[in-house]
Chain A
Amino acid sequence: EIVMTQSPATLSVSPGERATLSCRASQRVNSNLAWYQQKPGQAPRLLIYGAFIRTTGIPARFSGSGSGTEYTLTISSLQSEDFAVYYCQQYDNWPLTFGGGTKVEI
């Protein structure tokens, strides 16, 4: 199975600053890569799919990039509601697999 590795595990950022989250796949996933946001006590929410396509309603401060095995989620100017855990997921191959998550904290 494809192993997804996210870094860092925790990212401490001040409101208004930029956050850069990384996701590495153990083999190429051909941009079949999604990002989710999960807040405490809530289900995950899809932010980005196809490596860079924002889901309807997701603010433009969220952007995805990358190719091959390396992908990045960037939050350009962190708002208070963005402090959460972020997961990447590959859907290029079975089984679907998720990274271990990056917690973005104040």
Chain B
Amino acid sequence: QVQLVQSGAEVKKPGASVKVSCKASGYTFTDYFIHWVRQAPGQGLEWMGWINPNSGGTKYAQKFQGRVTMTRDTSISTAYMDLSSLNSDDTAMYYCAISPYGSGNFHLDYWGQGALVTVSS
């Protein structure tokens, strides 16, 4: 079965960076785009961007341009999301999720368990 297993919780100081990983299994890694979505405590869902696992190409939400970098390592079926210049507003649960590659449809079929990032001095 499809599984997306994310790295553990992180506590970071303002101005630091965080890197969250998402290891995929149960499907062909290159058959799905990998998205990152975050959710602040008690709030709704916010899409951050995606990475094309085939080409490594990315598309980021304008809000995060310049601050987020999404990468992948196809040899270990793992995607990464790096967010820099952290501030308290970045405290959130960060999810990876996948959508079918090549379909033109970007509904998020499967989700990781989430990684809590806390930004605090």
Contacts and interface: CB of A to CB of B under 8 A. Distances in A.
Most chain A CB inside 10 Å of its own CB: which residue of B35, B62, B107? B107
B10 interface: no
B44 A101 contact: yes
Which bucket holds chain A's interface residue count? 20 to 34
Interface centre among B47, B108, B111, B114 (most CB of A within 10 A): B108
A100 B106 CA distance: 19
B47 A44 contact: no
A86 to B, nearest CB: 11
A46 B105 contact: no
A32 B105 contact: yes
B114 A43 contact: yes
Contacts of A101: 44-45
Interface string A45-62: 110011000010000000
Interface of A: 32, 34, 36, 43-46, 49-50, 55, 87, 89, 91, 94-101
19 contacts: A32-B105, A34-B108, A43-B97, A43-B111, A43-B112, A43-B114, A44-B97, A49-B105, A49-B107, A87-B44, A89-B107, A94-B61, A95-B62, A96-B106, A98-B44, A98-B47, A99-B44, A101-B44, A101-B45
